[in-house]
Amino acid sequence: MNNYYFDLFALIVFVFSWTGYTWFAKKRAKTDDCIARCLHQHRIHWMYETMERDLRMVEAGLLANLERNIAFFASTTLLVLAGVLTLFSQVDRLEQVLATIPFTAYPDHGIIQVKLGVLVVIFVMAFFHFTWSMRQYGFLNVMIGAAPYSQNGPEESHQKYAYQMAIVQDQAAHSYNYGLRAFYFSIAVVLWFFHPFLLIFVSLFVVHTLFNREFRSKAVKAITEGQKILESERNGRKNNI
């Protein structure tokens, strides 16, 4: 029975780590420099530049590349999900394999099914995030196709339209990020099959890794500096008009 409590405690830590970090990242991104916040500014600049281009093959190529990446993860998610569902018919064999691994907690039939169920939920969520991201990029393609051409720089109404395009692209990127985050945390659940302590440790390790990459990495610093350069250049162009 104590093992059940340990598994339950580990699952609670896992859920709290995932939901807690998602809430924390959203709140902190409003005030601190991070990948999400800085890339949002880059997307706004991108959409402003799009309004000033009569032919938009560049946008079509870049968005197609983004959609290919998301489609890869979406199809991979389906394959992984099929594999996890297949394991439900092989629980007995999975128990035998886990029992032969040293330092592994004693496998329980019901607990293993719960763990497989958690993996199914994670990859279903990831699939929905990836496909929603793909759809939103499709919406963005339509908006770019309908965007008016501003030869002398975007007018006020055109700037508002460009900003709305940036919002759609930002939401698509967030959905893609949530799908990737599900892949990160699924690794913790895989290690849960060996021991509940590994689920706790890897959940906290994933949070630590995500925080460093999204808030403290060299990429964040470079993107932030690039944002400042773009803002300075655009302000200079406005003053020259």
pLDDT tens figures, 167-225: 999 999 999 999 999 999 999 999 999 889 999 999 999 999 999 999 989 998 898 88
- Look at residue 152 in the predicted model and tell me its pLDDT: 65
pLDDT tens figures, 33-61: 888 888 988 898 888 888 888 778 888 88
Asked if 45 contacts 233 with a C-beta cutoff of 8 angstroms, the reply is no
From residue 61, alpha-carbon distances to 58, 73, 89, 165, 218 in Å are 5, 19, 44, 17, 27
pTM of the model: 0.89
Largest CA distance in the chain: 74
DSSP 90: G
183 CB-contact burial (10 Å; exposed 0-12 / middle 13-18 / buried 19+): middle
